[in-house]
Structure 1
Amino acid sequence: MKRPLFVAACVAAVATLAACTTSQTGGPGSAASDATVRLALTSDLGSFDPARAASSSDYAFDRLLYSTLVGLDDENIVVPRLAASWDVTATQATFTLNKGLTCSDGAPLTASQVAASLEYFRKTAPGAAYTFGAANAGDKTTITGDDAAGTVSVRMANPWSELLPSLGLVNAGIICKPGLDDPTGLATGSVPGAGTGPYVITASERGSRYTASLREGFDAFPAFAADRSGRSPATIELSIVKSESAAANLLQTGQLDFAGFTGPDGTRLEQGFETATAPMIRNFLFFNQRAGKPGADAQFRKAVAQAMDAKAYDKVLGGSGTLLKSYVDSTANVCANTDDALLTQHDLASATRVLTGKKITVTGTNAIADGAGNTYVAEALRAAGAEVKLVNVDNNTWASSVLPSGDWDINVMASLSTTLLTASNLLTGAEPPQGRNYGATHNDAFDQGLRAAVVTTDQTAKCAAWQQGQAGLLSAVDIVPLSTLNVRYVFSDGVRAHILNGQIDLSTLRIGS
């Protein structure tokens, strides 16, 4: 197994994270010197309710406050977390909980509370259909808890082979009864006793900083195969810091122990620090296909694809990424498309014949290399004769208001999702607010492939179904694959946490040897 590194990530787009101790006397590359670690997020949190988490900052911080039934280890192997063991088939699952679990106020966490939380998640979270399956909506799924036996059971009317790994995602974090009773307060982080994770909020200043303190006696950390040496920091302080340049300066002056960089600032930290790079963000375009929008026209979508040059896009992000052939990359997903013939080729002359004079609104998050990729997309469309308005905004605004509003034509998606299933809710299913099909994409071939893929446990059949679905998306040009973005991780000795597919579980952050 790989040694866990401390990296930055959070499943729509990345938030750059930086960690530093409260002591500011160490030099570059020095280890954390006390039990406090400080993290910097590029944008504010949108919600403390894990079921409604939508931005990268939400995903990162909610890992501290809420635990899931299971965790995901290297190679996406499912490991125990709140659940000690499980028995799973294509239509049902029974989880046996660890003994002595508590809520964040010290009250016992019972099986019936876990069941109630999963039911809340199933009925509330926009992406829950991809945990239980759209065909299992309503009374076709039953979730029960047996407090005496300490077991939670999920039964589904129709086969759905993705239940177990999906219950390890942030949105499936377990919420205790006080939070379920007060969803409004839950969203603002003001409900004592709502959490099940290792940390509780002890100070909060919206838009500025947050403090989380370790719960005494918490021991439901994921059972990773790799060594979990060191100790959990007693306090984690998070501040909103939007500038990667500022983070780099703080690292160089010894005030930070860790930072993750999507832009060029990380390159000046090669001396005196341990660094690593890994693909973390999958960048692709999708369209607003509602009536009256240009994206509803397949000819328009093809012309946009012809205007794009994935190599040029990757170059503005540093040139170290992998060119995509789908909405995920094959290094992280064995069923991702690898057929170049399905891709629309760059053809500026053909694009210009269609796009000249078209008015197009392009949206994207500026958390990725300060929006350099979004700017490239806008300029490529202008080169094809289009009149482009670029909405280049902070990550939280992009995820919580710009995308759901539908007031855009093309979105530059910066996705942290590594699996075909978890990212598919952007391209199928319900539109906001019920779902995350922001562009109202409806592709029969993709839907059919998805349905076939999620009911089989045979890997060959699963990949064949996913290939059918991706071919449908690419032939209709519902997506325009671009490239991955390699993130540079810079950290000092003694600071680490578990990562998977470029994403960090902050609850596993450790300091010391």
Structure 2
Amino acid sequence: MQNNAITTTVIIAAIALAASGCTTGGKQAPAAGETPGAAGVLSTDTVNAAIDIPATFDPTQSLSLPDFTAARMSFDTLLRVGKDNDLVPGLAEEWDSKGTKTTFTLRDGATCSDGTPISATVVKNSLEHLAAPDTAYTGANDTFGITGLPTIAADDAANKVTIDLAAPWPDMLRMLSTAGSGIICPAGLKDTKALAAGTAKGAESGPYLLTEKEHGVRYIYALRDGYDMWPKYKEPLPGSPAKNVVFNVISDRNAVANQLLGGQLDTGFINPSSIPRFKDEPRFVVAKQPFSDFYVLFNERKGSPFADEAKRRAVAQILNRETFEKITDEGAGQTSTQLVADGTTCSNPAQSPVIPLDPEAAKSVLSGVKIKFVGTQVVGPKGSGNVYVEEQLRAAGADVTLSNLDLGGWIGTVYGKPGDWDMTVYAGLNFAGSMSSKLNDLSGPDVQAGGANVGANVNPTLDAALARFRSATDESAQCAALQEGMNSAISQANAVPLTNSPLVMVARDGFAAVSQGLSLDDQSLRITK
């Protein structure tokens, strides 16, 4: 399967960062429970939340955090991520994987919002739409692999769906827990324009219906009558689901903080700079979760200075991760020694062969080197992280030109103009919760050839490690292969790890915004009093 759009971790990461605040104070998150309030009577049936403007209501076209939020409200996925970063039942009761085949047994009784039963055929048709090149789902390769289209079969009598991949692809199950893979009912597949506009009645497989929208102002969702296909988490979530969720469009995260403190909002994302405002406020719970991985990515094509490993290593020698984190996230983030957040499956940050700081040694390599450095303004406030990197390059004697671009300009340059950049600070989201999702962007054919290799990186050791990962049948062998690949990419400076920038969610007393494991797109909004 060739890339039918820009690779998932790139465009989604950058857009999601631009559309979210980037994380603690307040009191600790409440323990899981079943019933809010001593008398079991809710104080309200509505949650007022903040959101940026969704660009689509079609899960397969989701690119930004608000897109994913909208998808999660209305479209259920086969699997979900649990508290321990494990997979738990969504629409699928159980699943069994052998080689390239995975069979899902669906839960009984699930229906679309128009009453259509969610049969095996309904799920099959939705998954085929997800995989089809014409759909241009940015996560298709990350879900089904890069070798070819999957074969999907339905057995309505047994309530089973089988996916047979063209080649082994261990990340498929985790990708089928992400919001973009939400099951679209027949009414939505029949009219994808109405689906994208949020007006395809009966398209929804999930709990909430978009009942009112004032585009760019607010979006109101109502809980479906009789819906009972909630994910089967090991522990119940706190409180109860809201009957109504009102998403108010507020792009300024400082304004979100103001409205939370003023009582106009019940939940919302805030900037790290606003965290101290909630430190001594017992009315709020402030929680952060790993979000975007920042790392330096090099253009290794012929003509770029970073086709030379020595120059890539020299860049690593001048960048202080702790300083970068303070500039971009003010102490709320996480310094990284790998290209993934701590706790990611198979990660082992303590043994990473990070290139140590040595600014003096770097000067002899970088002095006089002309560097075209392209950055996006989501890397810290107004691209401040890029400015730090530029300053370090200049201090090492490099002749650097920084283009601190808006999102569209950055994407157009890094993906469409390979001769116009030499290095960038890359912002990647790890939807699969896997080390492989980051390594895939450093291996194989480059973007211009239909692959995912953004910088045309050349690393045979990494390529071989990924091949072993994809064919391995047990987790220990998969992890060993991924560790070898990650270590190779870092030791050869194909990429230089910097930080993980967090997402900060605030919930007012009486409400909860619950994220499970390392899931990036699955916040459950609950009423707890």
Indicate whether 1:329 and 2:341 are aligned: yes
Aligned length: 486
Structure-1 residue corresponding to 2:258: 249
Indicate whether 1:420 and 2:435 are aligned: yes
What's the secondary structure of 2:389's corresponding residue? helix
Indicate whether 1:281 and 2:292 are aligned: yes
Between 1:205-214 and 1:467-476, the stretch displaced more is 205-214
CA contact (8 A) 2:239 2:528 kept: yes
Identical residues among aligned pairs (%): 33
CA contact (8 A) 2:171 2:434 kept: no
Q: What is the Cα-based RMSD across aligned positions, in Å?
A: 3.2
Q: Unpaired runs of 5+ in structure 1? A: 1-9, 19-30
Report 1:85-484 matches (<5 A): 85-124=94-133, 125-135=137-147, 137-138=148-149, 141-156=150-165, 158-272=167-281, 273-290=284-301, 292-316=303-327, 317-343=329-355, 345-347=357-359, 350-351=362-363, 353-354=365-366, 356=368, 358-366=370-378, 368-369=380-381, 371-384=383-396, 385-393=398-406, 397=408, 404-406=415-417, 408-417=421-430, 418-429=433-444, 431=447, 436-484=452-500
Query: Could you tell me which of 38, 41, 45 is aligned with 1:35?
Result: 45
Aligned counterparts of 1:261 and 1:86: Cα–Cα separation in 2: 38
Aligned partner letter, 2:376: G
Deviation at 1:364, TM superposition (A): 2.5
Aligned counterparts of 1:435 and 1:190: Cα–Cα separation in 2: 35
Aligned partner letter, 2:467: R
Aligned partner letter, 2:400: E
Aligned counterparts of 2:130 and 2:451: Cα–Cα separation in 1: 13
Task: Report Cα offsets for 1:476-498 as digits up to 9, x if no partner.
Answer: 32211002234444322222243
Question: CA 1:347/1:325 → structure 2, altered by over 3 Å: closer, same or farther?
Answer: same
What's the secondary structure of 1:211's corresponding residue? strand
Task: Report Cα offsets for 1:123-160 as digits up to 9, x if no partner.
Answer: 3433333333334x13xx31111223221111235444
Runs of at least 4 residues of structure 1 off by over 6 A?
A: none
What's the secondary structure of 2:206's corresponding residue? coil
Tell me the TM-score normalised to structure 1 length. 0.83
Aligned partner letter, 1:420: M
What's the secondary structure of 1:201's corresponding residue? strand
Tell me the TM-score normalised to structure 2 length. 0.81
Task: Report Cα offsets for 1:284-307 as digits up to 9, x if no partner.
Answer: 122344555555454443333233
CA contact (8 A) 1:454 1:462 kept: yes
Aligned counterparts of 2:360 and 2:57: Cα–Cα separation in 1: 45
CA contact (8 A) 2:286 2:504 kept: yes
Aligned counterparts of 2:48 and 2:404: Cα–Cα separation in 1: 31
Aligned counterparts of 1:281 and 1:101: Cα–Cα separation in 2: 34
CA contact (8 A) 1:48 1:62 kept: yes
Aligned partner letter, 1:471: N
Aligned counterparts of 1:17 and 1:359: Cα–Cα separation in 2: 30
Deviation at 1:73, TM superposition (A): 0.3
Deviation at 1:80, TM superposition (A): 0.9
CA contact (8 A) 2:313 2:355 kept: no
Deviation at 1:506, TM superposition (A): 4.9
Aligned partner letter, 1:306: Q
Between 1:144-153 and 1:278-287, the stretch displaced more is 278-287
Aligned counterparts of 1:227 and 1:203: Cα–Cα separation in 2: 30
Deviation at 1:188, TM superposition (A): 4.1
Aligned counterparts of 1:246 and 1:293: Cα–Cα separation in 2: 43
Task: Report Cα offsets for 1:33-69 as digits up to 9, x if no partner.
Answer: 533323323x533443323323333223221122110
Q: Unpaired runs of 5+ in structure 2? A: 1-11, 23-36
Question: CA 1:168/1:155 → structure 2, altered by over 3 Å: closer, same or farther?
Answer: same
Deviation at 1:118, TM superposition (A): 1.3
